[in-house]
Amino acid sequence: MQTQPHHKLTKYLRTDVLPNAFCAGCGGGTILNIFCNVLEEMEIDPNEIIAVTGIGCSSWIPSPYLKVDTLHTTHGRAIAFATGVKVMKPKKRVIVIAGDGDLSGIGGNHLIHAARRNIGLTVFLVNNYIYGMTGGQVSPTTPYSVKSSTTPYGNVERPFEIAELVAAAGADYVSRWSTYHIFQLKKSMKEALNKNGFSFIEITSQCPTSYGRRVGMRNGIDQLLDFKEKSIGIKKAEHLSSAELEEKMIVGKLIDRNRPEFTDGLRRVNEAAAG
């Protein structure tokens, strides 16, 4: 056992695999930090959590650092695997954390269908606008005209508004925040964890290595200041035209409702079938 400096949150971490592998300035550590604080403040026993992740840097936020049961799956499929976990263990809090490429690109189909089913998963999509781990290839959330390693002349696709998509697909809870909005994000994580149905937070996060540097922001701080400047509250945004919102990031809660949850429905069907 290595000795680690004592901190109230180290009990949530696999300290023997620290320090973490994130680049300097990465937003991954911030998200892990906020989530551990949420567990502490909500007094959630880590044994009640099962973390399911995909492939990419963002999937490393819980895996391996968070000391909970962990299923690190194939690229894009975390929600599919998590569905099996939740069906078997509906009382556990099943959390999915993965990237924009993972959850909205290769795994986009699973994301919208899980939202439609309203299965009681809590999903954090870490949107760093890029395929970070593999060196900055364009992703479904890369802004229009941005130069990436696979769009050297600029991206000709428009990005997904991923939080809006998940809300439209039928999720019970959807919000969008960023690693700049640490207090709002913490509050939103608590709300998401308290939902019975599908809860989803799009967390805009900085990736200085594969994204920031390419778009003229030299370090993580530059990107955080950019989040600060371009974010606009959802209420305020209602009064603006789409042209005025073009360069903006709308933050806040998009939806908060209570529809029937999938595993509850399954249980009812099982009981009815058993007579």
Ligand X SMILES: Cc1ncc(C[n+]2csc(CCOP(=O)(O)OP(=O)(O)O)c2C)c(N)n1
CB of 113 to other proteins, least distance (A): 4
Among 83, 128, 142, 155, binds other proteins (CB under 8 A): 83
Residue 134's binding partner among ligand X, Mg ion, other proteins, none (Cβ under 5 to 8 angstroms by kind) is ligand X
**Least distance from Mg ion to the Cβ atom of residue 207, Å:** 7
Q: Mapping DSSP to helix (H, G, I), strand (E, B) and coil, where does residue 57 land?
A: helix
What residues contact residue 121 under an 8 Å CB cut-off, 6+ apart?
Answer: 79, 82, 83, 86, 94, 95, 96, 114, 198, 199
**For ligand X, what does the binding mask look like between residues 81 and 110, x meaning CB under 6 A?**
-----------------xxxxx--------
Q: Which of 152, 134, 131, 154 is nearest to 144 (CA)?
A: 154
| Contact of residue 68 among Mg ion, other proteins, ligand X, none (CB under 5-8 Å per partner type) | other proteins
In the list 27, 30, 53, 58, the residue contacting ligand X (rule: CB under 6 A) is 58
Answer yes or no whether residue 10 interacts with other proteins by CB under 8 A: no
> If binding is defined by CB under 5 A, does position 141 make contact with Mg ion?
no
d(C-alpha 249, C-alpha 243), whole Å? 13
Among Mg ion, other proteins, ligand X, none, what binds residue 57 when CB lies within 5 to 8 Å by partner kind?
Answer: ligand X
- Tokens coding 269: 């069907």
In the chain, where do the E strands start and end? 49-53, 69-72, 93-99, 121-127, 130-131, 137-138, 173-178, 199-204, 231-233, 249-256
Q: Determine which residue in the list 120, 132, 220, 252 makes contact with ligand X, applying CB under 6 A.
A: 132
With 0-12 / 13-18 / 19 or more C-beta atoms within 10 angstroms meaning exposed / middle / buried, residue 33 is middle
User: Interface with ligand X includes 128 (CB under 6 A)?
Assistant: yes
Residue 17 sits in the site that holds other proteins (CB under 8 A):
yes
Told to check if 87 binds other proteins by CB under 8 A, we report: yes
Query: Of 19, 16, 85, whose CA–CA distance to 263 is shortest?
Result: 85
Which residues touch 88 (CB under 8 Å, ≥6 apart)?
Answer: none
Q: How far is the CB of 128 from Mg ion (least distance, A)?
A: 4
Question: Pick from 128, 148, 178, 204: which binds Mg ion (CB under 5 A)?
Answer: 128
Stretch that binds other proteins, among 45-53, 154-162, 187-195, 232-240 (CB under 8 A): 45-53
- CB-hemisphere CA count at 13 Å for 197? 22
Is residue 202 near ligand X by the rule CB under 6 A? no
Q: Which residue, 48, 56, 130, is CA-closest to 95?
A: 48
Q: From CA 29, how far away is CA 23, in angstroms rounded?
A: 10
Q: Which is nearer to other proteins, 185 or 193 (CB)?
A: 193
Task: Catalog residues that contact ligand X under the rule CB under 6 A.
Answer: 55-58, 75, 98-102, 126, 128, 130-134, 139
Task: Catalog residues that contact other proteins under the rule CB under 8 A.
Answer: 14, 17, 46-47, 50, 52, 63-64, 67-74, 77, 80-89, 92, 109-110, 113
